[in-house]
Amino acid sequence: MKATFGAGCFWHVEDLFSKTKGVNSTAVGYIGGQLPNPTYEEVCTDKTGHAEAVEVDYNPDEISFEELLKIFWENHNPTTLNRQGPDVGIQYRSAIFYHDEKQKEIAENSKQTLEKLDKYSLPIVTEIVPAPTFYKAEEYHQKYFKKHGFS
């Protein structure tokens, strides 16, 4: 099954998911914008509307979508609009791109639960939207942390 998350710069997020038991593979790329087949340079202009995202191929018999969401929520700040740390722009937005109605329901419930728990001092701005076409990023972005000895 597939799950797709935007949580800021995709390098760190991809590294987290790639080390998770039950995840078969990961890919970093661009999703949610208007330009077909965007390049990194185009996405960085903040004009294409794409988010940097990680597409996760996982085995639901080994890891649930809920468990993937837990990793997502715990490893970025879902209260900053179009920003993660020093990275600013629409491409760094917090987003869950669901692939079916079940994922949508689970994602919305998890967000509502976090809001009720008052886990964050600010409102959660994470968008939960249908997954449009995912465009795989350039090869030098794939497994970036592993390639550069950060993993």
Which residues does the annotation mark as catalytic?
9
R_g of the chain computed on alpha carbons: 14
Cα 10 from Cα 45, distance rounded (Å): 16
Q: What angle do CA 11, 94, 120 make, to 5 degrees?
A: 115
Cα 141 from Cα 139, distance rounded (Å): 5
Cα 100 from Cα 102, distance rounded (Å): 5
CA neighbor of 30 nearest in space, from 136, 122, 111, 151 = 136
